[in-house]
Amino acid sequence: MSPQPANSNPVDQLRARFADAIVRAYPEQFDDPSTVDPLIAPAKNPEHGDFQSNAAMGLAKRVKRKPIDVAKAIIEHAEIGDIAEPLSEASIAGPGFINVRLRSDALAAMLEAIDTPALGIPAPNTPETVVVDLCGVNLAKQMHVGHLRATVVGDAIARTLEALGHTVVRQNHVGDWGLPIAMVTDALMREAAAGTVSLDDLTLDTLDALYRRAQADCKADTRGLDAARTRCVGWDHPKALAELETQVEFAQQRLAQAKSTLVRLQSGDAEVVAVWQRIYDVTMAACLDTCRRLHATVTAEATAGESTYRDELAGVVDDLVSRGVAKEDDGALIVENADEKNKPFEPTLIRKSDGGFLYATTDLAGIRRRVQTLGADRAAYAVDARQALHFKQVFASAHKAGYTSKPDGTRARLQHAAFGMVLGEDGRPFKTRSGENVRLASLIDEAVDRATALVEERSADLAEADRKRVAEAVAIAAVKYADLSSERSKDYVFSFDRMVSFQGNTGPYLLYALTRIKSMFKKAGLADPTVEPESAPSTETPAGPFAIEAPEEKTLALLLLDYAPMLAGVGESLEPHRTCQYLYDLAGAFSRFYERCPVLKAEGATRDSRLRLASLTARTLRHGLDTLGIGAVDRM
Footprint on this chain of ligand ARG (rule: CB under 6 A): 133, 136, 138, 173, 175, 363, 366, 381, 383
**Could you tell me the smallest distance in angstroms from the CB atom of residue 369 to ligand ARG?**
11
**Could you tell me the smallest distance in angstroms from the CB atom of residue 44 to ligand ARG?**
43
Q: Please give the Cα distance from 499 to 483 (Å, whole number).
A: 9
Helix, strand, or coil (residue 462) = coil
Nearer to ligand ARG, 413 or 516 (CB): 413
DSSP code, position 533: P
**Could you tell me the smallest distance in angstroms from the CB atom of residue 170 to ligand ARG?**
12
Least Cα distance to 557 among 603, 593, 607, 531 occurs for: 593
**Length reported for the chain:** 636
**Could you tell me the smallest distance in angstroms from the CB atom of residue 600 to ligand ARG?**
51
**Could you tell me the smallest distance in angstroms from the CB atom of residue 138 to ligand ARG?**
5
Nearer to ligand ARG, 115 or 133 (CB): 133
Q: Please give the Cα distance from 357 to 350 (Å, whole number).
A: 6
**Could you tell me the smallest distance in angstroms from the CB atom of residue 331 to ligand ARG?**
25
**Could you tell me the smallest distance in angstroms from the CB atom of residue 87 to ligand ARG?**
53
Nearer to ligand ARG, 30 or 359 (CB): 359
**Could you tell me the smallest distance in angstroms from the CB atom of residue 158 to ligand ARG?**
14
CB atoms within 10 A of CB 403: 25
**Could you tell me the smallest distance in angstroms from the CB atom of residue 366 to ligand ARG?**
6
**Rounded to the nearest 5°, which phi and psi values hold at 419?**
-120, 150
Question: Residue 602: is it exposed, middle or buried by C-beta count within 10 angstroms (0-12/13-18/19+)?
Answer: middle
- CA distance to 99, 180, 231, 236, per residue, from 221 (Å): 71, 18, 16, 20
Cα 190 → chain centroid: 41
In single-letter form, the type of residue at position 187 comes to A
CB 336 within 8 A of CB 417: no
Helix, strand, or coil (residue 33) = helix
Nearer to ligand ARG, 437 or 581 (CB): 437
Nearer to ligand ARG, 382 or 511 (CB): 382
Residue whose beta carbon is closest to ligand ARG: 136
Please give, one letter per residue, the 3-state secondary structure of 419-436.
ECCEECCCCCECECCCCC
Nearer to ligand ARG, 2 or 437 (CB): 437
Question: Residue 89: is it exposed, middle or buried by C-beta count within 10 angstroms (0-12/13-18/19+)?
Answer: exposed
Q: Please give the Cα distance from 590 to 513 (Å, whole number).
A: 9
**Could you tell me the smallest distance in angstroms from the CB atom of residue 580 to ligand ARG?**
24
Q: Please give the Cα distance from 43 to 76 (Å, whole number).
A: 20
Nearer to ligand ARG, 383 or 520 (CB): 383
Nearer to ligand ARG, 10 or 175 (CB): 175
Please report, for the chain, how many H helices and E strands are present, in that order: 21, 13
Q: Please give the Cα distance from 450 to 448 (Å, whole number).
A: 5
Nearer to ligand ARG, 175 or 624 (CB): 175
Sign of CA dihedral 339, 345, 351, 356: negative
Residue 335 β-bridge partners: 326, 348
Nearer to ligand ARG, 358 or 557 (CB): 358
Q: Alpha helices, DSSP H only, in 402-506? A: 440-458, 464-485, 496-499
**Could you tell me the smallest distance in angstroms from the CB atom of residue 254 to ligand ARG?**
23
Nearer to ligand ARG, 383 or 443 (CB): 383
